[in-house]
Structure 1
Amino acid sequence: MENEMDIDPLESRGTKRPAEDNETPKPKKIRALDPDVVNKIAAGEIIVAPMHALKEMIENAVDAGSTSIEILIKEGGLKLLQITDNGHGIDRDDLPILCERFTTSKLKKFEDLSSIGTYGFRGEALASISHIAHLTVTTKTAGSSCAWRAHYSDGHLVPAKPGQNAAPKATAGRGGTQITVEDLFYNVPTRRRAFRSASEEYAKILDVVGRYAVHCAGVSFSCRKHGDAGVSISTPAAAGTIDRIRQIHGSSVANELVEFNVEDDKLGFRSSGFATNANYHVKKTTILLFINHRAVESTAVKRAIEQTYSAFLPKGGHPFVYIDLEIEPQRVDVNVHPTKREVNFLNEDEIIESICSNIRSKLAQVDSSRTFLTQTLLPGVTTMEPLSQDNTGPGPSFEGAGGAPKTPAATKKPYEHNLVRTDSKMRKITSMLSPAVAQPHPESETSPSNVLDEGLQYETTDREPIRIALTSVKNLRAAVRACMHNNLTEMIASHTYVGLVDERRRMAAIQSGVKLYLVDYGLICSEFFYQIGLTDFGNFGMIKLDPAPKLIDLLRIAADTEREEHEANHQSQNTAKESQAEADEIFTNAPDLVAKTLIDRREMLNEYFSLQISEEGTLLSIPLLLKGYLPSLAKLPRFLLRLGPYVNWTSEEECFRTFLRELAAFYTPEQLPTPASETEGPSQSQTQEAETETEDEFIKNRRLQLARMLEHVVFPSLRARLVATQRLLRGVVEVADLKGLYRVFERC
Structure 2
Amino acid sequence: MADEMDIDSPRGSKRKADEIDGDTNGKEDTAAPRRIRALDPDVVNKIAAGEIIVAPDQALKELIENAVDAGSTALEILVKDGGLKLLQITDNGCGIDKQDLPILCERFTTSKLQKFEDLQSIATYGFRGEALASISHIAHLTVTTKTADSNCAWRAHYDGGKLSPAKPGQSPDPKPVAGRPGTQITVEDLFYNVPTRRRAFRSASDEYNKIIDMVGRYAVHCSHVAFSCKKQGESSTSISIQSNSSAVDRVRQIHGGSVANELIDFSTSDDRWGFKATGLATNANYSMKRTTILLFINHRSVESTNVRKSIEQTYAPFLPKGGHPFVYLSLEIDPQRVDVNVHPTKREVNFLNEDEIVQAVCERIRSKLAAVDTSRTFLTQTLLPGGAWSDPDSAHAAIPKAGTSGANSRKTPARPERNDSRLVRTDTNLRKITSMLPPATGSGASPCGSRTAKGKGKETETPEALEYETVDRELTVCRLLSVRELRTAVREDMHHGLTEIFATHTFVGIIDERRRLAAIQAGVKLFLVDYGRACFEYFYQVGLTDFGNFGVIRFNPPLDLRELLDIAAAQESQQAQSQGGDEEVDFAEVIEAITEQLVERREMLHEYFSFEVSPSGELLSIPLLVKGYNPPIVKLPQFLLRLGPKVDWTSERSCFDTFLRELASFYVPEQLPPMPGGGAEAEEGEKGGVDADTKARRDHVRRALEHVLFPAFKARLVATNSLMQGGILEVANLKGLYRVFERC
- TM-score strictly above 0.5: yes
Q: Is the 8 A contact 1:431 1:440 kept in 2?
A: no
**Residues 588-635 of structure 1: per-residue CA shift (max 9 Å, x gap):** 423323543x25xx46x6777677778887878777777877766766
1:348 is aligned to 355
1:20 is aligned to none
Amino acid at match of 1:701: H
Q: Is the 8 A contact 2:295 2:329 kept in 1?
A: yes
Residues 1:740 and 2:736 are matched in the alignment: yes
Change (3 A) 1:283 1:72: same
How much has 1:705 moved relative to structure 2?
3.5
Cα distance in 1, alignment partners of residues 31 and 575 from structure 2: 66
Q: Is the 8 A contact 1:282 1:318 kept in 2?
A: yes
Residues 1:235 and 2:246 are matched in the alignment: no
Residues 1:244 and 2:250 are matched in the alignment: yes
Q: Is the 8 A contact 1:517 1:732 kept in 2?
A: yes
Cα distance in 2, alignment partners of residues 340 and 182 from structure 1: 24
1:455 is aligned to 467
Instruction: Provide the aligned C-alpha RMSD in A.
Output: 4.7
Cα distance in 2, alignment partners of residues 168 and 177 from structure 1: 14
1:693 is aligned to 692
Change (3 A) 1:673 1:375: same
How much has 1:693 moved relative to structure 2?
0.8
Residues 1:90 and 2:96 are matched in the alignment: yes
How much has 1:120 moved relative to structure 2?
2.9
Residues 1:541 and 2:549 are matched in the alignment: yes
Amino acid at match of 2:466: E
Change (3 A) 1:168 1:305: same
Cα distance in 2, alignment partners of residues 165 and 329 from structure 1: 44
1:146 is aligned to 152
Residues 1:47 and 2:34 are matched in the alignment: no
* Larger deviation, residues 103-112 vs 305-314: 103-112
Cα distance in 1, alignment partners of residues 311 and 488 from structure 2: 25
Q: Is the 8 A contact 2:449 2:699 kept in 1?
A: no
Match among 76, 90, 93 for residue 70 of structure 1: 76
How much has 1:97 moved relative to structure 2?
4.3
Change (3 A) 1:422 1:108: farther
1:403 is aligned to none
Q: Is the 8 A contact 1:438 1:500 kept in 2?
A: no
1:728 is aligned to 723
**Residues 253-300 of structure 1: per-residue CA shift (max 9 Å, x gap):** 223333444455555544443333333333222233334433333334
Amino acid at match of 1:716: A
1:171 is aligned to 177
Amino acid at match of 2:448: Q
Cα distance in 2, alignment partners of residues 235 and 433 from structure 1: 69
1:370 is aligned to 377
How much has 1:573 moved relative to structure 2?
3.7
Q: Is the 8 A contact 1:159 1:167 kept in 2?
A: yes
Amino acid at match of 1:670: P
Residues 1:591 and 2:595 are matched in the alignment: yes
1:390 is aligned to none
Cα distance in 2, alignment partners of residues 181 and 198 from structure 1: 16
1:219 is aligned to 225
Cα distance in 2, alignment partners of residues 628 and 128 from structure 1: 62
Amino acid at match of 2:594: A
Q: Is the 8 A contact 1:73 1:82 kept in 2?
A: yes
Cα distance in 2, alignment partners of residues 639 and 309 from structure 1: 42
- What secondary structure is seen at the aligned counterpart in 2 of 1:81? strand
| Counterparts of residues 639-678 of structure 1 (less than 5 Å) | 645-648=645-648, 654=654, 657-658=657-658, 661-662=661-662, 665=665, 669-674=668-673, 677=676
Q: Runs of 5+ in structure 1 lacking a partner?
A: 10-22, 382-406
**Residues 343-379 of structure 1: per-residue CA shift (max 9 Å, x gap):** 4342624753553454355356444342443526763
| Counterparts of residues 290-439 of structure 1 (less than 5 Å) | 290-338=296-344, 339-346=346-353, 348-349=355-356, 351-352=358-359, 355-356=362-363, 358-360=365-367, 362-363=369-370, 365-375=372-382, 379=386, 412=416, 415-427=419-431, 431=435, 439=448
1:400 is aligned to none
Whichever structure has more helix as a proportion of its residues is: 1
**Residues 78-105 of structure 1: per-residue CA shift (max 9 Å, x gap):** 3333322222333334444444445444
How much has 1:246 moved relative to structure 2?
2.0
2:64 is aligned to 58
Cα distance in 2, alignment partners of residues 705 and 443 from structure 1: 15
1:279 is aligned to 285
Q: Runs of 5+ in structure 2 lacking a partner?
A: 1-13, 20-28, 389-410, 441-445
Change (3 A) 1:517 1:227: farther
Amino acid at match of 1:379: G
- What secondary structure is seen at the aligned counterpart in 2 of 1:65? coil
Cα distance in 2, alignment partners of residues 92 and 61 from structure 1: 17
Cα distance in 1, alignment partners of residues 736 and 295 from structure 2: 43
Report how many residues are paired.
Answer: 688
Amino acid at match of 2:53: I
How much has 1:580 moved relative to structure 2?
1.5
1:580 is aligned to 584
Cα distance in 2, alignment partners of residues 416 and 631 from structure 1: 42
Cα distance in 1, alignment partners of residues 250 and 704 from structure 2: 50
Cα distance in 1, alignment partners of residues 416 and 336 from structure 2: 55
| Counterparts of residues 703-722 of structure 1 (less than 5 Å) | 703-718=702-717, 722=718
> Greater CA radius of gyration, 1 or 2?
2
2:212 is aligned to 206
How much has 1:250 moved relative to structure 2?
1.8
1:289 is aligned to 295
TM-score (norm 1): 0.76
Q: Is the 8 A contact 1:542 1:622 kept in 2?
A: no
- What secondary structure is seen at the aligned counterpart in 2 of 1:229? coil
Q: Is the 8 A contact 2:120 2:339 kept in 1?
A: yes
Cα distance in 1, alignment partners of residues 181 and 626 from structure 2: 56
